[in-house]
Amino acid sequence: MGHVRRSDWTVLELLRWATGYLEGKGVTSPRLEAEVLLGHALDLNRLGLYLHHDRPLCPEELARFKPLLLKRAKGFPLQYILGETEFFGVTIRIRPPVFIPRPETEVLVEAVLERLKGEDSPLIADVGTGSGNVAIALAKNLKGARIFATEISPAALSLAQENAYVSDVSSRIDFLLGDLLSPLRSLKLPGGLDAVVSNPPYIPTGDLPGLPQEVRYEDRRALDGGEEGTCFHRRLAAESREFLRPGGLLAMEVGDGQAEMVAEILEGYGWDKVEVLEDLSGTERVVTARKLEEDGWKGS
């Protein structure tokens, strides 16, 4: 072994310094993020960092860490730097500008799993699949399910396909490029779908400029929900009945303060059993409804 050069930094010293640096740049959890980034650069988990806290770092290790820290300090999202995130216990690869899965969306997945419990081989559409997180979490937890995942952005759709492949569920998910449910029209699904699921864009257009820096790296099409933020909920309320079987489920995530409005929209369109569910922080986050068993709807 040759001589290993050392820098003046130990793991713990660098963590302290990086934490202060990120804090000064307005990062909300600076210690945690410094740990995650340094762990990424050194290929150690957080426990590993602490076990090696007094290890001196070599210049190459410092050189690997520095660009990651600088990117984060500029507001680039942590998940984009790491190239992956966890969603519903599944590792999801993530690249800009594809929408980063959020923990709140796990409530949407739970709501659907609970409501489809009795079904052997449900047919489900995941509208606006983004990185594929919702479709993949559903496929992993409903072994007999067949899923149609639609997406308007080709870059997102190809990442979703890659994620399904990595998660070993690609044989049960069809990825379709297009607007909301329109790619399903040519499939002529006999009997209709059991569920339509969506985490649609729901930020009111006027709120977009005030969002934190991080969010600006994400595709605006994944965020912008029109003037009131409910434009896609309204469209799904109107357009998804055509694709569902009688009694079929519609489940949508909603933005802060939108649940009541979305529930009213659904009632206005003749949906049955409208329910509102909260996320872990107690915010109303998901609205579900059923297509009437005797729906007079004949399609448009």
Choose between 77 and 130: whose C-beta lies nearer to ligand GLN. Answer: 130
201 binds ligand GLN per the rule CB under 6 A: yes
Judged by CB under 6 A, the chain residues 142 through 181 that form the site for ligand GLN are none
Strand partners, 56: 10
The stretch near ligand GLN (CB under 6 A) out of 33-41, 62-70, 182-190, 193-201 is 193-201
Q: What's the min distance (Å) between Cβ of 299 and ligand GLN?
A: 26
SS3 102: coil
Residue in 122, 128, 183, 248 binding ligand GLN, rule: CB under 6 A = 128
Contact 66, 76 (CB under 8 A): no
65 binds ligand GLN per the rule CB under 6 A: no
Contact 7, 34 (CB under 8 A): no
Judged by CB under 6 A, the chain residues 71 through 100 that form the site for ligand GLN are 99
129 binds ligand GLN per the rule CB under 6 A: yes
Closest by CA position to 123, among listed 195, 38, 201: 195
The stretch near ligand GLN (CB under 6 A) out of 29-37, 56-64, 111-119, 129-137 is 129-137
| Residue 30 is a catalytic residue | no
Distance CA(153)–CA(272), nearest Å, equals 32
- What is each CA distance from 66 to 46, 55, 70, 89, in whole angstroms? 18, 18, 6, 30
Contact 291, 244 (CB under 8 A): yes
| Residue 99 is a catalytic residue | yes
| Residue 163 is a catalytic residue | no
Q: Which of 101, 183, 200, 201 is catalytic?
A: 200
Radius of gyration of the chain (CA): 22
Residue in 39, 77, 122, 130 binding ligand GLN, rule: CB under 6 A = 130
Choose between 80 and 99: whose C-beta lies nearer to ligand GLN. Answer: 99
Choose between 202 and 243: whose C-beta lies nearer to ligand GLN. Answer: 202
Choose between 42 and 159: whose C-beta lies nearer to ligand GLN. Answer: 159
Q: How many Å separate Cα 206 from the centre of its chain? A: 22
SS3 146: strand
Q: What's the min distance (Å) between Cβ of 40 and ligand GLN?
A: 22
Distance CA(259)–CA(159), nearest Å, equals 30
Choose between 59 and 206: whose C-beta lies nearer to ligand GLN. Answer: 206
SS3 230: coil
Provide the mask over 106-125, with x wherever binding to ligand GLN is found by CB under 6 A and - wherever it is not.
Answer: --------------------
- At 255, list the tokens: 């933005």
Contact 115, 107 (CB under 8 A): no
199 binds ligand GLN per the rule CB under 6 A: yes
Choose between 30 and 201: whose C-beta lies nearer to ligand GLN. Answer: 201
CB neighbours (10 Å) of residue 119?
A: 15
Binding site for ligand GLN (CB under 6 A): 99, 101, 105, 128-130, 133-134, 199-201, 222
> Active-site residue numbers?
99, 199-200
